[in-house]
């Protein structure tokens, strides 16, 4: 019976109108609503005032300092009505319809927008439409002012970009091969992807399904079989989830309680996706040949194949509707057999790497 680490060693392709505004003190007889009122109450109050003020309504917001509800109006005579509803009135120049019309004008010009323009929005507290320009670039400013509508140009540090998530069981690509994501974790300063050590020993820059994640931070193989990749890209999120592929929606990690011998477990990886079985033995020493001996592995009868290495082993999710919660068990290490004939698969318990590197599993 051949035992080997499950790694695929194949190279991969890898405004500007000025405005005078002031707040009118709230009546002592009517308490001012704030964040503690809760979103339902606040939303209902905002909606009622939006309807009752009609064309004079200029938006609503919570004061960032006090948390109190503020409602904008273009008609000072509505101030008493706003206070009676539990909000602070602020008299401004433009109603919400006017601001939305300015925003719509910019929307209609979006086909020629420069890359330096990060976006535009209605800023209700300042009663303006704001155009965000990266670094204050001249072409971005020119585009904003050429629209012929009153806007305020705000400088931002960087352009937005789509965010993508690293999910347990999905692909993890090294310069010399492909493995699978185990779990996401963090310490005081950084976020990490945990996988198998015989994968991270490849070193270098590591990619996920949608782009670069970061670089190998630590690796331990043989003896152990775990390693970490430090997340360095700002567009990468690391949720506590594991992909079940065609078997259902992602499961969510809620802890790392160990499943004992005979217990049900499941694993996820890029080659054979979601497979389940039972724990057969704990704390096993495995000889992968060529001097590669690993201690402390858990033996299971859940099949796996090359490329599944590093992927997530979790407790079997409960049946029923709603988000499935599971306990993180470990990362696929190696085994024998395959998913056609069946086989034996070993995983490296995740608690060891968490303790060794002082990491905490990601949480929602």
The CATH class given to the 96-156 domain equals alpha beta
pLDDT of residue 211: 93
Q: Would you kindly state where each structural domain of the chain is located, as residue ranges?
A: 39-91, 96-156, 163-364
Pairing of the two strands 69-73 and 88-91: parallel
pLDDT of residue 4: 60
Query: Please, which pLDDT band fits residue 11 given cuts at 50, 70 and 90?
Result: very low
**Catalytic annotation, residues:** 198, 225, 309
Per residue in 58-111, pLDDT tens? 999 999 999 999 999 999 999 999 999 999 999 999 999 999 999 999 999 988
- What's the pTM value of the predicted model, to 2 decimals? 0.66
Decide if pLDDT at 18 tops 50: no
The answer to which of 21-25, 65-69, 270-274 has the lowest mean pLDDT is: 21-25
Protein fold of 163-364: Thrombin, subunit H (2.40.10)
Decide if pLDDT at 340 tops 70: yes
Decide if pLDDT at 267 tops 60: yes
Question: CATH code for 39-91?
Answer: 3.30.300
Decide if pLDDT at 23 tops 50: no
pLDDT of residue 19: 37
pLDDT of residue 306: 95
Decide if pLDDT at 351 tops 80: yes
CA separation for the pair 287, 225 (Å, rounded): 12
Q: How many CB atoms lie within 10 A of CB 196?
A: 33
The answer to which of 23-37, 127-141, 301-315 has the lowest mean pLDDT is: 23-37
Common-topology check for domains 39-91 and 163-364: no
CA separation for the pair 130, 88 (Å, rounded): 23
User: Hey, what's the torsion of the CAs at 225, 325, 306, 229, to 10 degrees?
Assistant: -50
Query: Please, which pLDDT band fits residue 245 given cuts at 50, 70 and 90?
Result: very high
Q: Where are the beta strands (DSSP E) in 135-244?
A: 152-156, 164-165, 171-174, 177-180, 183-186, 191-195, 205-208, 211-220, 226-231, 236-237, 241-242
Decide if pLDDT at 13 tops 80: no
């Amino acid at each position: 019976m051949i035992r080997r680490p499950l790694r695929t060693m194949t190279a991969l392709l890898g405004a500007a109108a000025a405005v005078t505004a002031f707040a009118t003190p709230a009546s002592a007889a009517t308490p001012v609503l704030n964040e503690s009122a809760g979103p339902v109450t606040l939303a209902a109050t905002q909606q009622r005032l939006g309807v009752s003020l009609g064309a004079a309504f200029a938006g609503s917001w919570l004061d960032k300092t006090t948390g109190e509800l503020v409602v904008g109006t273009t008609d000072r005579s509505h101030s008493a009505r706003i206070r009676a509803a539990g909000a602070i009135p602020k008299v401004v120049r433009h109603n919400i319809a006017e601001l939305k019309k300015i925003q719509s004008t910019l929307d209609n010009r979006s086909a020629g927008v420069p890359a330096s323009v990060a976006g535009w929005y209605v800023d209700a507290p300042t009663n303006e439409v704001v155009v965000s320009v990266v670094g204050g670039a001249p072409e971005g400013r020119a585009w904003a002012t050429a629209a012929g509508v009153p806007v305020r140009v705000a400088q931002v540090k960087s352009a937005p970009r789509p965010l993508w998530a690293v999910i347990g069981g999905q692909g993890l690509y090294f310069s010399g091969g492909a493995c699978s994501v185990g779990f996401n974790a963090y310490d005081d300063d950084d976020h990490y992807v945990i996988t198998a050590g015989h994968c991270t020993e490849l070193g270098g820059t590591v990619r996920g399904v949608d782009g670069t994640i970061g670089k190998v931070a630590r690796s331990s193989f043989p003896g152990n079989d775990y390693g970490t990749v430090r997340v360095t890209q700002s567009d990468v999120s690391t949720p506590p989830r594991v992909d079940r592929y065609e078997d259902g929606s992602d499961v969510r990690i809620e802890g790392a309680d160990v499943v004992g011998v005979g217990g049900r477990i499941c694993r996820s990886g890029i080659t054979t996706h979601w497979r389940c079985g039972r724990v057969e033995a704990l704390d096993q020493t495995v000889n992968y040949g060529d001097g590669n001996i690993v201690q402390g592995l858990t033996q299971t009868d859940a099949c796996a194949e090359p490329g599944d290495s590093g992927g997530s082993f979790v407790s079997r999710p409960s049946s029923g509707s709603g988000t499935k919660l599971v306990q993180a068990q470990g990362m696929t290490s190696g085994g024998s057999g395959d998913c056609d004939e069946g086989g034996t698969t070993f995983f490296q318990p995740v608690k060891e790497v968490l303790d060794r590197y002082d990491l905490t599993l990601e949480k929602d």
